[in-house]
Structures are given as C-alpha cells and as structure tokens.
Structure 1
C-alpha cells in the first residue's frame, strides 16, 4: 500500500477550481542482478509528483511525472515540461483525455505480459513488453502523444495519435534530425495512431487493437481471466511492414505470448512465454523465444521481496535478479 510522503491542498480558487492537490510519492529497489557472466549490485530510488484537482463544473484533471524526467543533461527531449515524459489529463462525462508520454490505444486496452523479478523485467531487457507500434516511448520525436478513453457499461473505447510533426514546438522550425533521401530536413511526418475496444466481465476481459504508422500496421488481440487466485493472459500481435533495422532490415511478422500468475496470501508467483517471428531481406525467417518466472513475497508496508529468472534469445543468455522493491 502506497503511503503519501507529502501532500498539500492548494488554495480553493473562486475562478473555476473547486480543489487541487499535489502529492509526493516514490519507489525504490535494492538487490543483485546476474547478467549471465557476473553478479552485480543494483539499486534505485525515484520520486513522483502526482497532481490532481476538480473544477466547479465537475471536471477532474491531473498530471504525473518523476523527478528524473527533468534530467536535461541526460536527455533534453525526455521531459515532462516538454510533454515527452509523464502525462497530463482531464476527464468528465465524455471520457478521459491524456497528453504526454502516453501509451497507445492498443496498449491501454491490452497491456503486456506479466513482469517478473525485483526490477520488474528490466534485468531481462523487458521482453515481457509487447512491441506496440505507437505510444509509450514511441513517436516522441513528434512531441507529446494523445490518448482518449471512454467507458460505457462493460465496453471501453480508446483512440491515440501523434501530431505528425517532427519538429517539436519549442525548437526552431527546420531544426530536425529527420531528413529525406537528399539529406534535407523533413518537418512533417506520418501520424502514428491507434484505436482499440475492450469488453470486461466480472473476472475476465477481451480486447482488440489496431495501429498504423506510415506503412507499418499492427493488429493486437488479448484477453485475461482470473479464477480462484489464478490468472492467465494471452496476447497475439500481427504486423505488416514493421521493420526494425537498416538496409538489411528485419521485419517483425508476429508476436504471441502467454502469462500465468497465482496469488496465495502474501505470495505471488508469475511467469510468461513469448515468441517473435522475423523475416530477413538477406536470410531465412527466424523466431526468438523468451520466457521468465518469478516470485514475490509481500512484507507489508510497501516492501516486497522479489526475484526472477529470464531466458531469451535476444540476450542469448539466462539472467536473474533478487532483491527488495519499495513503494512510499
């Protein structure tokens, strides 16, 4: 259970605001990672700002970002102040609208496979994450992405997009790293967009998403069910013209994966299997297999003891981690 480190209620303003709040929370972890050759110490601490409010008309609004999102020396274009990290949102009767480093409609509806380990999969290259075409770190060269969500009864609808302009508004026009075949700067680009629908019952859901960016397309189908402490989740993604390399590019054709989990009191067991198929312009097709297993024990008060093992063809190795993760 997260504990608020610091919270303050802003002034109640007569000009349109009923209330506003700024809350400070955080997370951290410490442990050991085995990278296939060596065991190394690994630790991290982060602080998150969570902003929320409500207007007199009943509109809710808010934002969330981490302190490290403003590390300009690390990445000047990965910033909550510039809309390419964190997100800001407004919601009401007609749904919720978010802008910033948002996930795509497909990912919002379906998500990824289950994370394992105290680093939540980072130690294995996050191979539990499905390769969605747009959103969640993709297309940020165009600036903030936008996500719309609307739910009525058991059905949720989602739509997301980039703005199709390579030059962020805070840059000088023409100051872009994207160029055409002659090396000339290209400011305009193809809008990356996605739509999805989801049906949720009491203990299961199914969802379908579609995404497009330039010639690349994706169709993603997913579902999950929970019964007596057991959870199972399946995802299938089919891609067209999804190239991930240069001249001798590899084309991602499809991905499918299965996740399993079991919760028993303070103990959580999780695992996943994933397969990706690629076509190569200069070689035969090839498939990559990845799997992971992990366990967690909830120590209470926001502390969790966790560990995991991941084996993936992407790393050509078996890696593991073990440690404690915290939420404040």
Structure 2
C-alpha cells in the first residue's frame, strides 16, 4: 500500500492521530446498540459549558463543553464502534436511543451532603454525583424502550462507561487545604459509591461495563505548580510529584479489587477496568516516543509561557492573559489538568485494542 506523506507543517503526533483515527473503523464482530457514559470532565461532552475557544479548536473548531482541544476518549470509542458522538443528556430535542452522556464537568462520586457535612459544600462547582447521574439515566429509560423486558434487551446490547469518578472528590479536599490523611479516608467511600452505581445499572440490564481509574495527578502541570517542592525526593525520576501519584495508584488498586468482586458476584456481566494511569505515565516518561515534542509536564493552553509548567491561576486557559501553543498535538496536557485530543486518542486505542483495558473493548464484543 502506498504511503502518504504529511504536509511540512504537520507534526509527528498529528500524523499519528490521522492514521489512528482512520483505523477506528467498526469491527464486524463488534456491535453495540448504544453507549451510555457517566463521569466528570474527562468525558463531559456538553452538559457543562465551561469555556470558550481555544477549547474545541482542533476537531470541532468551536467550544462544545469538552475540556480539551478536541475529542475525548468517549468520542473515539463511539467512532470505533460505529455510533454517533454521544449527545449530552441535558440537550433538548435529542433522540438518546443510540446513547447519551450523563457526565458533568467537576462531578463527584459522592453526593453533595458528604462534602457539605465536612464544610466543603461551597467548594463544589456542580451538584452532580454518580448517583444523580444514574437517576437521570433512570428517568430517561422510558423514552428508550417500551417495557422492562425491552429495556433489559436494549441495555444488554449497550456499552456503559462509568467514570472516571473520584478525582474531583479528592481535588475538592486537596484544593481546600485538607490533609492527605483526610483525603485518604474518602477512598473507601468513593469505592462504595462506584460499586453501588455499577450495581444499579446492572439491575436495569447493563452487561458490558467499563470502569476507568484515575490519571497520575502528580504529573499534572496544575499540581506541579500548586504543590511544587524544594525537596528533590518529593519528585519521581521523571519530575512528577510522588505522593500524588502514589495516591492515584492506591485509588486504582482499590478500584480494581472492587471490579474483581463485582465481576465475581455478577458472573453474567462483563466489567472491565480501564487504565488512564499507565499510558499517561508512559507519555511523561518518554514523550518524544509518542510525538509529544512540546513536552509532557507543560500545559499547551495557559499562562503564556510565564511559568515553568505554563500554569497560572490568574491566566487560565481561555481567560484574558492566557495563550495557546501552536500545535496541541505535540503536548500531553491541554490546560494543566486535562489532556489533549492526541493523548486521549492514544488512551482510547489502548482501551479498544489493549493493553489498557483487560480484556479490551474490541476483544469482548
């Protein structure tokens, strides 16, 4: 097959993204009637309109509510299985039979009351939790199918993606200056909320469920800026903050045990853990291998180069004083706490084909 040459201005990552996108064609053996997604800013496709351009600049050419320059993991998955990009569940006049996205930017696993009782209610950006998103799904169900039996049949042929959840639960406390001991105490409660949410969906007929873990937040430019240390031992050999990555690993290990327990309890289902952590850490460890020549620990959109990690809370992405890099495809981080479309495309491929979901989505079709 003849190879295609890239235009002179096209970076390695951009070329790889085009090749990868062209390979996201539906498998003949893969068929889902719909995708239903729950989560936070890693998967919100428009329930919360958080910012204007340059958000959405790369693919959509306009802001859509996605916290990136383009598509998210959920978008690449929908494309791969031959379904439309998921409409936000709050959209008016949409037919949701082929899928809906209930994710809300800044959503938590735990309900508002949990944070309010701890004096953190005012720190939440939205009042959206996993349980409230599942309730929204339950309210939508009568419009999807005509009977309980019909719903179970439809949902058994649908893909459910539940998360990422937990990141904002912990961020709420961390950004408020609470101790890591307190943050650690949230983990079992977050796990219980995720477990209960998945079980509610199984009760309605969900069979094929993906539950993603946390990203390595110690590699986020935002964390590196806010919690930088003069002690070299606080950093990993690639420059990430050790204690925050250790915490994310703890969450992910706990979550995998929960998923294992759910799979054993509901043996007729297919519940898989999806890994955000490992691929993102690989990007940070060897960015040029993946075409990230702009860097892995520096935000593309941010403080106009006025800080080491291009993060300044007075010049956040899309706000006055901020600027955006020339080629987002050469960066891992979009705005300091979310990834670029190119990074999300690589993660999505790992979930679809392995090795970042076991078994991969394509394998268990």
TM-score range, shorter chain: 0.3 to 0.5
Larger Rg: 1
Q: Calculate the TM-score normalised by the size of structure 2.
A: 0.31
Q: Calculate the TM-score normalised by the size of structure 1.
A: 0.33
